[in-house]
Amino acid sequence: MVVGWHRPTKLVIDTQAIKENVRNEIKRMPKGTELFAVVKANGYGHGAVQTAKAAIAGGATGFCVAILDEAIELREAGITEPILILSVVDVSYIELLLTYDISVTAATQEWLEQATEQLNQLEIQAPLKVHIKVDTGMGRIGFTTPEAVKQAIATLKVEKKMEWEGLFTHFSTADEKDTRYFDKQSQRFDKVLSVLDDLPRYVHVSNSATAFWHPNNPGNMIRFGIGLYGLNPSGHALSAVYPLKPALSLVSQLIQVKELSAGEGIGYGNTYTTTAKEWIGTIPIGYADGWLRHLTGFSVLVDGEECEIVGRICMDQCMIRLPKKMTVGETVTLIGENHGKEITLQMVADKLETIHYEVACTFSERIPREYK
Binding residues for substrate: 140, 315
How many CB atoms neighbour CB 42 within 10 A?
18
Helix H, strand E, coil C: the string for 93-106 is HHHHHHHCCCEEEE
> Which of 174, 217, 249, 230 shows the shortest CA–CA distance to 55?
230
CA distance 57 to 18: 9
Side chain identity, residue 102: I
Length of the chain: 372
The DSSP letter of residue 206 is B
Q: What are phi and psi of 115, to 5 degrees?
A: -65, -40
Can you tell me the distance from the alpha carbon of 103 to that of 90, in angstroms, rounded to the nearest whole number? 13
44 is catalytic: no
Do 292 and 276 meet the contact criterion of CB atoms below 8 Å apart?
A: no
Query: To the nearest 10°, the Cα dihedral for 156, 158, 160, 166?
Result: 20
Phi/psi for 233 (5° steps) reads -65, -20
Q: Which of 160, 184, 258, 268 is catalytic?
A: 268
Instruction: Show Cβ contacts of residue 319 under 8 Å, excluding neighbours closer than 6 positions.
Output: 266, 267, 280, 281, 282, 283, 309, 310, 311
Catalytic residue among 10, 40, 53, 133: 40
Reply yes or no on whether 40 is catalytic.
yes
Task: Check: CB of residue 87 under 8 Å from CB of residue 68.
Answer: no
Query: Is residue 339 classed as helix, strand or coil in its secondary structure?
Result: coil
Sign of the dihedral defined by the CA atoms of residues 71, 240, 171, 215, in that order: positive
Q: CA 357, 46, 135 angle in degrees (round to 5)?
A: 45
Give the residue ranges of the annotated binding site.
Answer: 140, 315
SS3 at position 272:
strand
C-alpha span between 302 and 323 (Å, rounded): 10
Task: Map residue 75 onto helix, strand or coil.
Answer: helix
> Catalytic residue positions?
40, 268
